Amino acid sequence: MISGTTTVFGIFGQPVAHSLSPAMHNAAFAALGVNAVYVAFPVTDLGQAVAGLRGLGIAGVSVTIPFKEAIIPLLDEVAEEARTIGAVNTVVNRGGRLWGTNTDWQGALAALQDQVDLAGQKVLVLGAGGAGRAIVYALRLAGGRVWVTDAEAGRAQTLAQEFGVTAVPWVEAPQLAAAILINATPVGMAPQDQAIPYPPELLTQVQVVMDIVYKPLQTRLLREAAARGCRTIDGLEMLIYQGVRQFELFTGRSAPVTIMRQAARSAMPLSENGSSQTA
């Protein structure tokens, strides 16, 4: 039961009503008996929202689109990895001082390492935006051999120079014969869910395919990959694992990963997860 001693956490975004994070975190609080609540904050003025964290004593927030970059100069301290990636997705209120970090890269790394040893693997990342930057950061730390491409060639070149990886033109990328393919673009997201960012006939040369899109959960890319014998990782896994790390930063306790995964998947609409919400 929420009381005067309940600790408040939340998520800053716009729009944010669709977020699965409240379901994940509140299920974890309940499972561990933590007197806390996690709510969605639809932010219209980021500066005022950040001031509200201090003024109201909100213990921490997740940060999502479109504020991951804009929030950086409003914080008191930012972790090195977040500055390198160029985005903050987690803010912890330390007695009125706001510390920001990035757990997206940790979410991507955990989701991938569940399926494959990344060291020495040839990885092609489609997309050099915020998600792509976090994923490339993670891959480099894990010892992957990384190629990145983007429909905006300059963005891929910039990322490649900053992270010490190789940029490749979008039209040439499918010829790389990478062992691991990661889609970090919105291609395939509903309502354009029949779109695919990679030629299906070339998926036979790929061993593992990860798609960060989770609406729909089984994108056309993942369906085509599975049909050709690839191991697949859906977009919820990165979301779940970044939330797991956030929970640990918020509470100082080990996260109940299975419970958070079940809560996130149960919160997906039937039309998007393709299975029972109680599965």
pLDDT of residue 269: 78
Known active-site residue 68 = yes
Give the whole-number percent of the chain exceeding pLDDT 90.
92
Whole-angstrom distance, CA of residue 231 vs CA of residue 2: 43
Q: Which homologous superfamily is 106-233 in?
A: NAD(P)-binding Rossmann-like Domain (3.40.50.720)
Whether the predicted model's global pTM rises above the 0.75 cut: yes
Using 50, 70 and 90 to split pLDDT, how confident is the model at 275? Answer: very low
Using 50, 70 and 90 to split pLDDT, how confident is the model at 1? Answer: confident
Beta strands in the chain (DSSP E): 7-13, 36-42, 60-63, 77-78, 90-94, 97-101, 122-126, 145-149, 166-167, 180-183, 208-211, 231-233
Nearest to 89 by CA among 112, 109, 111, 66: 66
pLDDT of residue 188: 95
Q: Considering the chain, what is the average pLDDT of its residues?
A: 94
Structural fold of domain 7-102+237-273: Rossmann fold (3.40.50)
pLDDT of residue 272: 54
The string of pLDDT tens digits covering residues 58-82 is 999 999 989 999 999 999 999 999 9
The single residue of 19, 20, 62, 68 carrying the catalytic annotation is: 68
The string of pLDDT tens digits covering residues 84-100 is 999 999 999 999 999 99
The string of pLDDT tens digits covering residues 107-122 is 999 999 999 999 999 9
User: Is residue 261's pLDDT more than 70?
Assistant: yes
User: Is residue 25's pLDDT more than 90?
Assistant: yes
Using 50, 70 and 90 to split pLDDT, how confident is the model at 177? Answer: confident
Going from N- to C-terminal start, the domains of the chain cover 7-102+237-273, 106-233
Q: What is the mean pLDDT of residues 152-160?
A: 96
Whether 7-102+237-273 shares its CATH topology with 106-233 is answered yes
* Residue whose pair of structure tokens reads 């964290």 in the numeric block: 53
Whole-angstrom distance, CA of residue 43 vs CA of residue 102: 19
